[in-house]
Amino acid sequence: MNLIERCPDGTIKYRNPFSGTECWYTPGRRHRPVHTEGTSVPQLLKKVDVEGYCTFCPKNYFYTTPEKSRVINIENFLQIQRMLTANQIFAQPALFRRISNLFEIISIDYWKKNYSYSLTSQQIKMKENYLSSELGREHVRSLLEHITRRSSQQKARIEDSALYELADGFFGGAHDLILPQFHFRPDAVTDHDLYSTGEMTAFEHHIYTVLTIDALSDIYEQNRFVRFAGVYTNWRRDAGATLEHLHRQILGLDFWGYSIGRCVRQVSANPEVFNDYVNYLKNQHNLAICENDYAVAVADIGQPFSTVAVFSKSSGCRPFEHTHREVEGFSEILLSIHAALGSGEACNEEWYYPPRDSDCFFPWFVLIKWRKNRHAGIEGTTRLYIDTYRPEEIRDMMIDRLHLLRTSGKFNSLLIGKNGIREKRSLKYNSKKSS
Ligand SMILES: [Zn+2]
């Protein structure tokens, strides 16, 4: 495996075997600070009992679609609740909740008209339960009228007779969001103190991941035409977010997508390609950032943006094929990278795993892409990406911050940097058989 080429002038060319992209580090081009604090002046926050800063905040539950599920804390016992009525959702705030995207990328009509999809009995039950109360019907009606106003500029009341079918997208769609309770950190002082993934406790991030995997599994179960469901987060506007309130998205698709297709082909040609790659980055190029028994984080190469990759070490390949403890361990590594990057930095989180109808398997891995720069015309023309940071610098930045976080008691159980496990075949996936 030779994916790195060093030129005499200092340019370094990196190639990623899975995405097929090439990224060049060009010396002297760096012109931005590593950490920006944003361009606006921080404004002091007024303390409120219940946050209502955006439509994803707990004060505005009725501005979002009916909840498909939520996690609540009952006397320190966490519980996933499903099929809540409109009257029940205000009874107590949810720590995390799953809702349908009000403006789906792929609408329910796509599945209905192209695949003759119809709601499952579980989805119909959920819809009937929600629409059985006057409050539920008014909630759904107000959302549908909002969509109509935005799409056709028309203001018309939707009658009960039309409500039942028009509501299908809220209960039977395959584009969901996972929302945490908080908009700002609980100890926020200014409006720059947003609640990012990295601000979560290990416990919170574990719950967040569990609810995401629960939703992912459910989308596959409810819609048999979904071949791959993408899981992703766009954090901050520079990474494509339209709202500052953290949200993870799950989008069911009827195709694999370019990168997933390449992963399947790579592992089909060489079953050990993922172990070879992690070994190449970690042991040959010393790019390990941190690891535990369940996952390893490395500074990745050849990506369009500076990227950290987190690979699962488990024998199960899809997220929902991991045990509870494996998910917890993976979640801890993923959280540590977000915490080290910091909430001020825009990033994308992308999940990769074998599609439902693939008979070649590769490990679940997540990429965290630091969106500090924007692509320009040359990338569109050539697909050549330029980075101003070398993977070694990303590794060092992450490791320095993890050590700093450790002084405040966080991530004590992780093996950081060179202290990681020197194992040539650390990923336990079997390319021919999942779990
Ligand atoms: Zn909010």
Helix, strand, or coil (residue 70)? strand
Q: What is the pLDDT of residue 33?
A: 45
C-alpha angle with apex 22: 385 to 274, nearest 5 degrees?
135
pLDDT, position 425: 86
Is residue 264 one of the residues assigned to a domain?
Answer: yes
Residue 250, helix vs strand vs coil? strand
pLDDT of residue 416: 95
Residue whose tokens read 């403006």: 103
Inter-residue contact 268 to 400 (CB < 8 Å): no
96 located within any domain: yes
Where in the sequence is the domain holding 341, given as residue range(s)? 4-31+252-419
- Residue 15 and residue 75 share a domain: no
* 69 CA to centre of ligand 1 in angstroms: 18
Protein residues within 5 Å, CB atom, of ion ligand 1: 53-54, 56-57, 183, 245
The answer to whether residue 240 is domain-embedded is no
Mean pLDDT for 393-418 is 95
The answer on 145 and 102 residing in a single domain is: yes
In-domain check, residue 182: yes
Shared domain check, 23 and 70: no
The total domain count for the chain is 2
Query: What pLDDT score was predicted for residue 16?
Result: 94
Does the pLDDT of residue 156 top 80, yes or no?
no
**Domain shared by 8 and 143, yes or no:** no
Q: Are residues 262 and 405 in the same domain?
A: yes
CB 229 within 8 A of CB 319: no
Q: Which long-range contacts (CB under 8 A, 24 or more apart) does 284-288 make?
A: 285/4, 285/391, 286/392, 286/395, 286/418, 287/391, 287/392, 287/395, 288/395, 288/417, 288/418, 288/420
Report the separation in Å between the CA atom of 55 and the middle of ligand 1, taken as the mean of its atom positions: 6
Mean pLDDT of the chain: 92
93 is a domain residue:
yes
Classify 122 as helix, strand or coil.
Answer: helix
In this structure, the answer to whether residues 295 and 346 fall within a common structural domain is yes
Query: 36: pLDDT confidence band, cut at 50, 70 and 90?
Result: very low
Residue 143 covered by a domain: yes
pLDDT tens, position by position, 358-389: 999 999 999 999 998 777 777 777 878 888 88
For residues 262 and 353, state if they share a domain: yes
Distance CA 322, CA 313 (A): 10
Over residues 277-283, the mean pLDDT reads 95
At residue 34, the pLDDT reads 46
d(CA 181, CA 162): 32
Same domain? For 289 and 403 the reply is: yes
Pick 66 or 79 by higher pLDDT.
Answer: 66
Cα gap 232→166, rounded to integer Å: 27
Distance 183 CA to ligand 1 centre (A): 4
Q: Does residue 73 belong to any structural domain of this protein? A: yes
401 shares a domain with 267: yes
Calculate how far, in angstroms, residue 184's C-alpha sits from the geometric centre of ligand 1.
Answer: 8
Task: Please indicate, yes or no, whether residues 12 and 71 belong to a single structural domain of this protein.
Answer: no
The answer to the question of residue 247 being in a domain is: no
The pLDDT of residue 37 is above 60:
no
